[in-house]
Amino acid sequence: MRRFTILLAFVLCLDLSARQPVRARHAMVVAQEPLAADAGLEVLKRGGNAVDAAVAVGFALAATHPSAGNLGGGGFMLIRLADGRTTFIDFRERAPEKSSHDMYLDASGKPTRDSIDGWRASGVPGTVRGLEYAQKKFGREKWADDLAPAIALARSHPLSYAEAESMKNARNLAKYPESRRIFQRDGKFYEPGENFPQPELAHTLELIAKGGGRVFYEGEIAKKIAQAEAENGGLITLDDLKKMTAVERTPLTGKYKGYQVITSPPPSSGGIGILQIMGMLEGTGYEKSGAGSAAAIHYVAEAERRYYADRNTYLGDPDFIKNPVAGLLDPEYLKKRFASFDPQRATPSDQVNPGHPKGAESTETTHFEVVDGEGNAVAVTYTLNGGFGCGVTIPGAGFLMNNEMDDFAAKPGTPNMFGLVQGEANAIQPMKRPLSSMMPTMLLKDGKLFLVIGAPGGSHIITGVTEAVLNVIDFGMNAQDAVDFPRFHHQWKPDKLELEPGISPDTAAILQKMGYDVDTHPRAGSRVEAIVVRGEWLEGGTDGRGSGKVAGY
């Protein structure tokens, strides 16, 4: 009865009772903006593979979803080829050479907002470098052909209600003349359905289509970035841009109940997160109480809490620090981490300290994924960090810059914009990549592709993706139900359990009695996208919290 109450409350809250997964036999693209999803499908239909389609979606989102789609940000791409080979491309932003450990502290030692707003907030963008690296090594089509849909969309496209409202309501855009002119028409805001022309962005994309990444990092576009940064007190120089690289890394792998998990390594913290949380849960039988029950939420939230304590202490850019990955994922270590779990009571976060793994030394993002007709799969999460990044647009180039420097620990031990309290491992250093929650992930069943999944949402990415995976594996949900089901979030500090609307008030009351400080009106969480492979069918789900699209044929 309680499970029925939970599901009914969720349906009434989100009005998703009629939502079914989109199913296709051949290929599928899932993206958080419909026109970009269509761009990827267009590339697939004319012969491109999953990487070509992902590149097309990535560039298209810069035009159609400017709050998160980008040229001026960075991210991660997870690839699994039909022959079983896997790789992970890290094109996360890097701190400029002029960066320093205490650069965002005022005279009294308190963090300022310079890591969030304005020209000093940006890391060196990696998106163009990363997409080019992937396309050159794994794509099939011509580079210019993969960019063609984005160029057309940048020239003009009709605005959805969601995109028009997001541009209208973005306070950071209003602060900067070029951003206010392009995205807010100097106060004469664009209406839903109205065409949105971006001639500067279209020209920038045309230059990239002709000259590749070099024009962005060493040529005409690079000079525009460096000039604008210098004139406005920014940090990024031509030398920073020229040195920017994409790095190919080995994905993290693990197992859960017979499924093989392929996920994101550091500087992502999310891959370790899903493997730690599932490692603590395996064998507990938590799922017997049912999806959305107080008991199930309690088990998962306590695992989340313990993971975040480790995350915020040990993890950072692997090119700068030693991440104790093997120790953090060791089954015996995870057993010890969960030994303090009390089935009846919440453990206060002040009593949950980081563990001692072997080898340890003493909101706005978007996700998309593609599965092509050959069985190649790509999952990409990339970001400007906050909505519309730092708010500034490069004059004459038409694209926004990130505020990724806030993902560092500007002052270790002090919360960032997502409330994460991080340690010295993620402190600012020149050319360092900030720790990320982005975690494109895949699961295999009997050696075959089973699930492709990921999400935007800052620190909520890790819990959102993990809970959606558990919904599929442990609670038997289809792709759409798994991503739509109400979620919860605990990130150790602050010591709060966030419950989405749709979770039963009775369940919330039980959790409060167990000792949780329950927040039933949390800020927006992650928006998960998933493709599940069921025999000959691809089953796609796009999160009802957003306005994305599953496109397949």
Query: What is the DSSP code string of 500-520?
Result: -BTB-HHHHHHHHHTT--EES
Please enumerate in sequence order all residues whose Cβ is within 8 A of that of 525, keeping only pairs 6 or more positions apart, or say none: 457, 460, 463, 464, 487, 489, 498, 500, 545
Sign, CA dihedral 143-146-151-154, equals: negative
SS3 261: strand
SS3 184: helix
Q: Which of 365, 381, 383, 463 is catalytic?
A: 365
Token pair 């979770």: residue: 503
Q: What is the CA radius of gyration of the chain?
A: 22
Token pair 């069985």: residue: 375
Tokens linked to 523: 């800020």
Whether 365 sits among the annotated catalytic residues: the reply is yes
Q: For residue 100, what are the CA distances in angstroms to 240, 375, 482?
A: 15, 45, 42
Of 295, 305, 283, 306, give the one whose Cα is nearest residue 343.
295
Cross-strand pairs, 365: 383
Tokens linked to 111: 């963090």
Reduce the secondary structure of 84-104 to three states and give it as a string. Answer: CCEEEEEECCECCCCCCCCCC
CA dihedral 323, 327, 328, 332 (to 10 degrees): 180
Tokens linked to 100: 């320093």
Q: Helices in 398-459 by DSSP H: which ranges? A: none
Please enumerate in sequence order all residues whose Cβ is within 8 A of that of 285, keeping only pairs 6 or more positions apart, or say none: none
Please enumerate in sequence order all residues whose Cβ is within 8 A of that of 172, keeping only pairs 6 or more positions apart, or say none: 117, 179, 386, 387, 388, 389, 390, 391
Tokens linked to 357: 């793994």
Q: How far apart are CA 543 and CA 346, in angstroms?
A: 29
Tokens linked to 195: 């065409």
Please enumerate in sequence order all residues whose Cβ is within 8 A of that of 76, keeping only pairs 6 or more positions apart, or say none: 88, 89, 90, 91, 92, 264, 268, 380, 381, 382, 436, 438, 439, 440
Secondary-structure breakdown of the chain: helix, strand, coil percentages, each rounded to the nearest 5: 40, 20, 40
| Bond into 267 cis (ω within 30) | yes
Q: Could you tell me how many residues make up the chain?
A: 553
Could you count the other beta carbons within 10 Å of the beta carbon of residue 80? 22
Q: How far apart are CA 470 and CA 491, in angstroms?
A: 18
CB 549 within 8 A of CB 531: no
Catalytically active residues are 365
